[in-house]
Amino acid sequence: MNSFLDVPRILRRERNSWVRLVVIAIFITFEMYSIYILHRETNEQARILVYMHIALALMVFSGGTVDAINTAKRLLKIEEADRQITDISSKYVSTRELLFRIDNETREEVGAWMHGTLQPQLVRLAKDIRTNKLNDGELVAQRVDEIAEKYVREYSHSLYPPALAISIEVALETLLEGRAELVLDERLTITADIGYAIWSSESETASIKQVMRLHLAAEISYATYRIIEEAVANAEKKSSTTRIVVDVRVEGEQVRISVRDNGDPISDNAKAGLGLSVINAFMQKFHGTMTMNNVADGVEVLVLLPYEAPTLADMLHKRFQGGGLDE
Amino acid sequence: MDKTSQISVRVIENDPDFRELLSGIFERSEMFDLVGSYESIEAFGAEMLKHKPSDSWFPQLMVVDVMSSTDPRVEGASFMSALRAEGLQFATLLISSMEFGALLRVLRKSQAKGWAALQKTSRLTEQDIIESAKAVCSELVLS
């Protein structure tokens, strides 16, 4: 008679939905049989006992059903989470492989530069000093300056453009100077309000109605820069190109990067041969999209990158909550 | 020279040798009055907040190494621009090894006058620094 008391426990414990269905079916059959006995039983005491059994069974069953529904919901969530974890794991593995490859390539390049460019320059300088070819302090200083400015600075800037530490606007203005026209989303420029008062308390509230400056995360900012750098270099390779326009804007939850040139159209075969390894690497890393299309007056490379949309004010508020700059 | 006729200067520079050099130049100059020297933007910011809201704490000239923060996410040019956007009036002489053309163009979109920059090289002389400092201050006064 007490078997039905196990139903909620079984339903809770059992993950296989078929087993759960069978348990519920047995339970219902058993209760139907009890009702059948009730219908036929003439002994009043026995009838009361069966009534009590059915009432108790219904209470337990309803509890069990709710439990079963909750369990099913939990299981669905677990299955969804499992799927997400698998998805993230595979993405993580491919991103890690990509980063490993990029890391190796970077080490290789930096190593080659130090060995093949910097070291010979320094060795030559030392030799010239020792052999008295360079016995004038000023000449030595000039050579050191040349190494520092022509080689070390240029190379370090190519590894990570320092202007990017200031803003995407300054970095792109520096990159595209004399090469392409830049159309930048107003919210990414210095003219937009940062919406955060460092000194005065009034400016914070006074600026609410103005265009608020958006914040690009460092890695998205870097990706945007490198993507544009590669797309512009590709456009410049075509001798027919006389004008390049770079347009960067934030649209919803995406950064939209368009690099449009007025050069000859590109055939499908030529597209495959273009060096777009940097763009492709960033597409893989950020799950963005890249298309290259012949348009009315030339060719457009269109890249969409995911974007989380805090304003600069959000970021500064979060960072300097409490007012101290050194937090 | 009477201090009131001198141009007050605060310097932010994380390289101790260069900070000493800059401080020495402004201390020696009769035209300028060095009122503060900081090893980082954070050190300057902490001192600044102690004097809030006294606008008179700000000098007439800020000499700032752009990358003088202990945090790579903070740099001097945007920080100075943000302060000036709040209405504070001071000229700014930026110093860094980076190229300045685009940076100055961008900064001038926000505040048209009172920006100058010097590239850090071994050829930079005391005279270059003083001349640039004087020029940027007069640009702001004349505007």
Do residues B83 and B123 lie in contact, with contact meaning Cβ atoms separated by under 8 Å? no
Number of domains in chain B: 1
Q: What is the pLDDT of residue A323?
A: 47
| Residue A327 predicted with pLDDT over 70 | no
Using CB atoms, which residue from A141, A157, A194 is nearest to B82? A194
Of A69, A86, A103, which residue sits at a domain end? A86
CA distance A324 to chain B (A): 7
Q: What is the pLDDT of residue B6?
A: 93
Within 8 A by CB and 6+ apart from A217, the residues are A308
| E strands, A130-277, in order | 181-184, 244-251, 254-261
Q: Answer whether residue A197 is part of any domain.
A: no
Give the count of Cβ contacts less than 8 A between chain A and B: 87
Q: Is A79 exposed, middle or buried (0-12, 13-18, 19+ CB in 10 A)?
A: exposed
Using CB atoms, which residue from B78, B103, B121 is nearest to A145? B121
Phi/psi region, residue A293 (left: phi>0; alpha: psi -120 to 50; beta: rest), is: beta
Do residues A177 and A157 lie in contact, with contact meaning Cβ atoms separated by under 8 Å? no
Per-residue confidence band for B44, with pLDDT thresholds at 50, 70 and 90: very high
Residues A82 and A177 both lie in one domain:
no
Looking at the complex, does the CB of residue A149 fall below 8 Å from at least one CB of chain B? Answer: yes
| Residue A322 predicted with pLDDT over 60 | no
Rounded to whole angstroms, the Cα distance separating B136 from A174 reads 22
CB contact under 8 A, A325 and B103: no
CB contact under 8 A, B86 and A191: no
Do residues A282 and A227 lie in contact, with contact meaning Cβ atoms separated by under 8 Å? yes
Residues A143 and A252 both lie in one domain:
no
Q: What is the pLDDT of residue A68?
A: 65
Q: Answer whether residue A317 is part of any domain.
A: no
Residue numbers of B between 40 and 69 with CB closer than 8 Å to A: 41-42, 45-46, 48-49, 52-53, 66-67
CB contact under 8 A, B103 and A194: no
CA distance B1 to chain A (A): 32
CA distance A17 to chain B (A): 53
Do residues A197 and B87 lie in contact, with contact meaning Cβ atoms separated by under 8 Å? no
Residues A81 and A154 both lie in one domain:
no
Q: What is the pLDDT of residue A2?
A: 46
Per-residue confidence band for A109, with pLDDT thresholds at 50, 70 and 90: confident
Residues A176 and A270 both lie in one domain:
yes
Residues A168 and A154 both lie in one domain:
no
> What is the mean pLDDT of the segment spanning A169-178?
95
| Residue A310 predicted with pLDDT over 50 | yes
Q: Answer whether residue A199 is part of any domain.
A: no
Residues A52 and A144 both lie in one domain:
no
Number of domains in chain A: 3
Q: Answer whether residue A133 is part of any domain.
A: yes
Looking at per-residue confidence, does A133 or A250 come out higher? Answer: A250
| Least trusted range by pLDDT, from A201-205, A303-307, B79-83, B97-101 | A201-205
Using CB atoms, which residue from B53, B67, B106 is nearest to A170? B106
Per-residue confidence band for A309, with pLDDT thresholds at 50, 70 and 90: low
Per-residue confidence band for A1, with pLDDT thresholds at 50, 70 and 90: very low
Looking at the complex, does the CB of residue B87 fall below 8 Å from at least one CB of chain A? Answer: yes
Which CATH number covers residue B124?
3.40.50.2300
Do residues A224 and A168 lie in contact, with contact meaning Cβ atoms separated by under 8 Å? yes
Residues A252 and A267 both lie in one domain:
yes
Q: Which domain holds residue A181?
A: 163-191+216-309
Please name the residue that has the structure tokens 């040798």.
Answer: B17
Which CATH number covers residue A298?
3.30.565.10
Residues A222 and A299 both lie in one domain:
yes
Q: Which domain holds residue B110?
A: 3-142
For A264-316, give the DSSP string. Answer: ----HHHHHHS--HHHHHHHHHHT-EEEEEEETTEEEEEEEEE----BHHHHH
Contacts of A188 in chain B (CB under 8 A): none
Residues A267 and A303 both lie in one domain:
yes
Average pLDDT, chain A: 81
> What is the mean pLDDT of the segment spanning A270-298?
84
Q: How far apart are the first and last CA of chain A?
A: 68
Contacts of A150 in chain B (CB under 8 A): none
Tokens describing residue B120 = 């850090």
E strand or H helix at B127:
helix B126-142
Using CB atoms, which residue from A145, A162, A325 is nearest to B98? A162
| Residue B4 predicted with pLDDT over 80 | no
Do residues A198 and B86 lie in contact, with contact meaning Cβ atoms separated by under 8 Å? yes
Do residues A224 and B108 lie in contact, with contact meaning Cβ atoms separated by under 8 Å? no
Looking at the complex, does the CB of residue A169 fall below 8 Å from at least one CB of chain B? Answer: yes
Of A36, A67, A86, which residue sits at a domain end? A86
Q: Answer whether residue A50 is part of any domain.
A: yes
Please name the residue that has the structure tokens 């998205």.
Answer: A220
